[in-house]
Amino acid sequence: MDGAGRHCLAGRGQIIAWSAKLSVTKFGGLNVRDANGRARRNHPHLGSLTSSARFKRHSNIDMNKSPANPTTRREFLKNTGRLAAGTALAGVAIPQVYAAENNLTQIVLIGCGGRGTGAAMNALSVQQVPLKLVAMADVFQNRLDASYDRLKGSAIGTKVDVPAERKFIGFDAYQKAMDCLKPGDIAIFTTPLAFRWVYFAYAIQKGLHVFMEKPLTADAPTSRRMLKLAAEASAKNLKVGVGLMSRHNRGMQELAQRIHDGEIGDLILLRGYRMHGPGGSAYSTKWPGSPSELLWQIQRFHSFIWASGGCFNDFYIHHVDHCCWMKNAWPVKAQALGGRHYRLSPDGSPFVDQNFDVYSVEYTFADGGKFIMDGRCIAGAHEIYSSYAQGSKGNAVISNAGDCGLPSSTYKGQNPDRASLLWESKVPPGERDPYLNEWRDLIDAIRNDQPYNEVERGVYASMVSSMGRRAAHTGQEITLEQFLNSETEYAPGVDKWTMDSPAPLLADANGRYPVPQPGIKRESEF
Ligand SMILES: NC(=O)c1ccc[n+]([C@@H]2O[C@H](COP(=O)([O-])OP(=O)(O)OC[C@H]3O[C@@H](n4cnc5c(N)ncnc54)[C@H](O)[C@@H]3O)[C@@H](O)[C@H]2O)c1
């Protein structure tokens, strides 16, 4: 059976209800937001072109703009106070909703893999407020144990207080971990993306601040759900960080300001490159039979669109996000190339994942400007891992190396040579780690009760990534509006999964999963 046949299709009424609530323009289409979360009216594909001037210079960037009016602190305390009763740490005094200087803020980690362990370490390294890790959740005992041992044995080990009774395993472990918290504490979501909306809804219900890793979504229905949840979180004055750490790279922050102030003129072309050998779990040979197919797909989440958006979303979203930030707009459409060149592992067994080996996506902005995102996972080919902007007066190196590597720089003309250098970022040593900065910024916002919600722009970065991936996989030009209105959900019912649930994507008799066939499968990705 074709994988697409098993996707859950939301009813038409649901889409209309959603779009009526969120952002329908008078033309019946969707408002598109710029890269800082500002609403732009009149979707350009509906006949009323947005003035290019709107995109030119936004010198006063509010990077953490919250889309909704926060409720008062008093209302928030009233609402969230009810939830406080009956938390697992019942001995802890009834909370301040916001962490103040000397209040202990508790953290739970949901998804105890590589990034989760790193995020917990970053969080516990922050000095502004006393923080303690009090619970951990995973679907694999060995992952949780390894993460615990690493954290406990590290420099922040004294801030790890997770006894056996607060180590939770299973698909409901996230609830048990968050039940250990009081309103105003922080939950970290670092599982593969399919679970984000489920956890976020529960955290909002419990009045928790959140840090969640990128990407946030792989399809439109969950994107719409996350946008709604983002507004709910802001309405409850919850602070939410998203792991698109470029936004917290101090060099890139200054670069964005300079570009938006016109230092290199009008932006015409952006280029993102992530081209290197195979990474993560992007290539998979057949399911070995254990653990269950579902758990195995979770372990190899880069191989499956439902779990990660595939390698395109997971690997390239940082460049997608920060290039659009420099442009201060999200693209309105995409067309793309991509293909599978080498589909046998070194031992001769076939790779059965859903990824292309190469992608080249051409995004178009409303003012006609372009953004090319090139990705390749092939060893032995030319490697480039950086990003660039070209404007009418000059050019910029955005990420010098990697996802967001310092320094950023600007140049006269189109060659990035030293003789043409206009500016190069100089960031003090203590602020060079964007993974730490994103935690300092989140904790500052909690402590000072500043609006802070990065979800909406995280969803847009995820949707723009998915639009590009889908354009490559189908061989069709796709608009952001078409993507937004799409009804295909890749992991339906994820909120009800148990350890015995079947995988949302099943292999055929030969152990192969459905793969994209551009031009043949035009409506669905596989
Ligand atoms: N911002 C960055 O630079 C960056 C870097 C790496 C990873 N990430 C993101 O972090 C996320 C995790 O990546 P990773 O490399 O740490 O992967 P990982 O496989 O090492 O860790 C994921 C963990 O989540 C657990 N898990 C999966 N489903 C779960 C569920 N339903 N409930 C509880 N636990 C569950 C897994 O068992 C695993 O331990 C991904 O979304 C990835 O894109 C971001």
The token duo for 54 is 């709107």
405 lines ligand 1 (CB under 6 A): no
pLDDT per position as a tens digit, 290-344: 999 999 999 999 999 999 999 999 999 999 999 999 999 999 999 999 999 998 9
Q: What is the mean pLDDT of residues 121-130?
A: 94
458 lines ligand 1 (CB under 6 A): no
Predicted local confidence at residue 102, as pLDDT: 54
What is the C-alpha to C-alpha distance for residues 248 and 433, in angstroms, rounded to an integer? Answer: 9
User: Which residue's CA is the closest to the ligand 1 atom numbered 33?
Assistant: 138
DSSP 291: S
- Is residue 92's pLDDT more than 70? no
Q: Is 190 helix (H, G, I), strand (E, B) or coil?
A: coil
Q: What is the mean pLDDT of residues 511-520?
A: 97
71 Cβ contact partners less than 8 Å away, ≥ 6 residues apart: 79, 235, 236, 237
For the CA of 403, the closest atom of ligand 1 is 3
- Res. 103 pLDDT band, cuts 50 70 90: confident
CA of 444 to the centre of ligand 1 (A): 25
User: Which residue's CA is the closest to the ligand 1 atom numbered 13?
Assistant: 115
DSSP 96: P
- Res. 35 pLDDT band, cuts 50 70 90: low
CB-based contact 354:516 (threshold 8 Å): yes
pLDDT per position as a tens digit, 149-183: 999 999 999 999 999 999 999 999 999 999 999 99
Domains annotated for the chain, with CATH where assigned, are 20-88 (no CATH), 105-247+435-458 (3.40.50.720), 250-433+463-496 (3.30.360.10)
Q: What is the mean pLDDT of residues 416-444?
A: 98
